[in-house]
Amino acid sequence: MANPISSSAAVADLSLGAIDRRRIGELEAQLAEARETLDAIRNGEVDAVVVGGPETRRIYTLENADRSYRLLIEQMREGAVMLSADAVVLYANVALAELLNLPPERVLAHRFKRFVAESDRAIFTSLLASGGSAEIALRRSDGESFPARLSLGTLATDAGPVMCGVITDLTDAHAHAREIGDARSRLAVEEARRELDERYRLILESATDFAILSTDFEGRVTIWNSGARNILGWEADEIIGGAAPTIWSHEDRAAGVPQQEMATALQKGRAEAERWHLRKDGSRFWANGLMMPLRNRAGDAIGFLKILRDRTEQRRAAENQQTLINELNHRVKNTLSTVQSIATQTLRTAATPEEAREALEDRLIALSRAHDVLTRESWECAALSEIVSEALAAYRDRWEDRIHVRGPDVRLPPRVALALSMALHELATNAVKYGALSNAAGEVSVNWTFDDTADCGRLALRWTEQGGPPVEPPSRQGFGSRLIQRTLAAELGGEVILNFAPTGVVCAIEAIVEAAERA
């Protein structure tokens, strides 16, 4: 007898298998219908699309779905799409499916937002609400994004409004724009380089006080600015491209100075020195020179850059300054020696300390006044009239009508002016104390003549006193007499005669003044 339980299970298994086969058959029939419907929509054989289930079903009619219109849309290179109010794809042409890299059935009845990149979904939502056009990124089936322009517009239907859109792939346009941008960038870079080169050229040409030149390793000149033309004498068109001209002195070339400078520049990055250089006409000039290696963009040395500045005037000024310092040192020493001699002789011959103090003070003041005259003339020379006036300045106010001065314009060198000034001071002091200016009637005359020739001039100066007390020769020779007869004669290189005549002292001075000294 059969087991009833086993028989029942077999019947159940048979029933389940039949049900599964029935369901599979229904699904296959629905899939075939869907494919048939899709083909009918694409071929223009249906006029509506039903979206939703029994409760929410909505029918969208394709009022203009005639075959020719559909064929036109299918032939478009741009993607075409029709969206429901919920952004469900009601229709998509072949071009759109190809853009998304999907079969057409994978596009239809899906929400379009799934094909929009996450970053641009807000833009897509805005377009759905108001329509218009915007650039967004769409995603292909492999997840790759591409730029596209989406244009949406609203279309009224019996089932409600739908959105019709056109999608244009901007990949090539962006690539072209990048190419244009790159080309523009290259042009901008080239323009910037040209502008920079022009600025460099203007800078080089504006540096007229600097000779700027460059050479390659073969010694050919590659740069020659206007300063090089002004300082060195060669024009650019006769130098550039040819061998570098000889601007080094013979001594420096013989000593290998150019090669030493180039070696130092390559080793240390620069070589700087001051030395004599040569111009085109062979004349020499003192220049401050700087040599540096000239490098390309890769940093490789391709030659040398040399910058010269003419410092001849500065060198002459420095030499003149040193000469003046040496001269000043010499004059200071001479002045100190003079002061020492004046002090020693004054203290030796003075009868009392008070007399010594007064005589020394007067003599130093006389020396100072002579220095003032020479300082005003930069210690080059002094007018004899000023020397005489300063020597008699302490007495002119009191005895102006009794002191007579006359003579031509004569300019004397410093050594003669100082010696003559001190001698005139001693004569005036003696006249005030013992001679013509010691009473109320005496007079002093200072006259001179000067015979000028091409090589030298002969000065003849005469001091004459008259109307004073009777004069007697001194019993001993004092400082003033020694100064006049010895020192003055030695400085002048001439002859000095001091005569103590009874009618008044007479001092005759003759000196030869070289033309070079007067110049």
Report the residue count for the chain. 519
Q: Are residues 154 and 229 in the same domain?
A: no
Is residue 55 within a helix (H) or strand (E), and if so which, with residue range?
none
Q: Are 214 and 340 found together in one domain?
A: no
What order do you get walking across the sheet with 271-278 strand by strand? 221-224, 210-216, 301-310, 284-295, 271-278
For 436-467, the DSSP string reads GGGSSS-EEEEEEEEEE-SSEEEEEEEEEEES
CATH of the domain at 284: 3.30.450.20
- pLDDT digits 0-9 by tens, 53-70: 555 555 555 444 445 556
Q: Got the DSSP string for 196-242?
A: HHHHHHHHHHH-TTEEEEEEETT-BEEEE-HHHHHHH---GGGTTTS
Whether residues 357 and 425 fall in one domain: yes
Q: What are phi and psi of 312, to 5 degrees?
A: -60, -50
- In degrees, to the nearest 5, what angle opens at C-alpha 319 toward C-alphas 316 and 324? 125
Within this chain, do residues 110 and 224 fall inside the same structural domain, yes or no? no
Residue 201: predicted pLDDT: 72
- d(CA 174, CA 41) in angstroms, rounded, equals 34
Same domain, 264 and 375: no
Do 140 and 56 fall into the same domain? yes
Residue 198 in tokens:
């022009």
In DSSP notation, 166-200 reads EEEE-HHHHHHHHHHHHHHHHHHHHHHHHHHHHHH
Query: Do 160 and 217 share a domain, yes or no?
Result: no
- The last residue of one of the domains, among 256, 291, 310, is 310
Banded pLDDT at 223 (limits 50, 70, 90) = confident
Q: Find the mean pLDDT for residues 11-25.
A: 62
Task: Specify the higher pLDDT residue, 392 or 286.
Answer: 286
pLDDT (tens digit per residue) in 172-215: 887 877 777 677 767 766 776 677 667 767 777 777 888 888 89
pLDDT of residue 42: 54
Q: What are phi and psi of 348, to 5 degrees?
A: -75, -35
Q: What is the pLDDT of residue 9?
A: 44
Q: Longest C-alpha distance within the chain, in Å?
A: 199
Domain hosting 465: range is 317-518
State the DSSP string of 491-511. Answer: HHTSEEEEEEETTEEEEEEEE
- Domain assignment present for residue 20? The answer is no
Q: At what angle do helices 384-391 and 353-376 cross, to 10 degrees?
A: 150
Domain boundary among 244, 278, 310: 310
Does any domain span residue 221?
A: yes
pLDDT at 47 over 60: no
Burial code (b: 16+ CB inside 10 Å, e: under 16) for 443-453 equals bbbbebebeee
From residue 157, alpha-carbon distances to 72, 400, 419 in Å are 21, 134, 131
Q: Is residue 461 part of a domain?
A: yes
Residues 447 and 324 in one domain: yes
Q: What per-residue confidence (pLDDT) applies to 36?
A: 61
For residue 354, being part of any structural domain is answered with yes
Do residues 112 and 214 both lie within one domain? no
DSSP 270: -
Classify residue 126 by its DSSP letter. H
- What's the rounded Cα separation, in Å, for the pair 391 and 490? 20
> Is 0.85 topped by the overall pTM?
no
CATH number of the domain enclosing 425 = 3.30.565.10
pLDDT at position 2: 44
In a domain, 159, yes or no: yes
Q: Alpha carbon of 232 to those of 208, 283, 308, 312, 412: distances in Å?
A: 12, 10, 10, 13, 43
Number of structural domains in the chain: 3
Given 143, 169, 195, the domain boundary residue is 169
Question: Tens digits of per-residue pLDDT, 139-166?
Answer: 998 889 999 999 888 887 777 788 888 8
Q: What is the pLDDT of residues 335-368, one digit of tens each?
A: 666 666 666 656 666 667 776 677 666 777 776 7
Q: What is the reported pLDDT for 260?
A: 93
Do residues 225 and 283 both lie within one domain? yes
**388 and 487: one domain?**
yes
- 175 in a structural domain: no
Pair (245, 162) in one structural domain = no
Whether 457 maps to a domain, the answer reads yes
Q: How far apart are CA 499 and CA 497, in angstroms?
A: 6
Is residue 14 in some structural domain?
Answer: no
Measured in Å, how far apart are the chain's first and last C-alpha atoms?
165
* Ramachandran angles phi, psi of 120, nearest 5°: -110, 10
Give the pLDDT score at 398.
78
